[in-house]
Amino acid sequence: MSSRKFFVGGNWKMNGDKKSLGDLITTLNTASLNDETEVVCGAPTVYLDFARSNLDARIGVAAQNCYKVAKGAFTGEISPVMIKDCGVEWVILGHSERRHVFGESDELIGQKVAHALESGLGVIACIGEKLEEREAGTTEEVVYAQTQAIADNVKDWSKVVLAYEPVWAIGTGKTASPEQAQEVHEKLREWMRANVSEAVADSVRIIYGGQAGLPKRFC
């Protein structure tokens, strides 16, 4: 259980310019980082090459999204091949904003996960329930269904990090306690044990993503 390496991800979302991101990169490059913790920054698409070229090699870079195929007439999209061509190693998929602002389905997210992994990227796969789903007592049903769509498309779990991010704790003023996050983490690991394998349940890294102030950690 203790063999899982800690993972910390910072999603920059649609923020920054070369000046402000350059300042942030300088801070990260001079920071004291623990060798036992993997650190990955999710940069806007237009700054992927900038981030990878300027961040210290010990800090990973993730694209914030990608499409399910390598190329084609898909205006505004980016493929795993393009991401890798920038020297970037990771992609964030299934983020709540992609699901609930841009309407991405579990099926599409699963297809993206499959193609990203086949292309050699690591995947930070996001899952989480909305406020009305938590209040209705369907948190487990929702996150299990989202996880199933991801699991159906994963062959090598060593390249996957699961990020539980309750939608109700992002920019709403509501907060998830460490106990609430840990409870879902534990249930997810039980689900993985029953539906994927004992080995994957023990080895996969599960992190928390939500409002600032609650440490992002694996369980």
Which residues are part of the catalytic machinery? 95, 165
Residue with tokens 């490059």: 29
Q: Report the relative pairing of strands 205-208 and 37-43 from DSSP bridges.
A: unpaired
Question: CA–CA separation, 208 vs 219, rounded Å?
Answer: 9
> Which of 190, 169, 189 has its CA nearest to residue 180?
169
DSSP-based three-state secondary structure for 174: coil
Beta strand 160-164 with 122-127 is parallel
Could you give the 3-state DSSP secondary structure of residue 120? coil
Within a 13 Å sphere around the CA of 215, how many CA atoms are in the beta-carbon half?
8
Buried b (16+ CB within 10 A) or exposed e, 32-69: eeeeeebbbbbbbbebbebbbebbeeebbbbbbbbbbe
Which residue, 37, 56, 42, is CA-closest to 9? 42
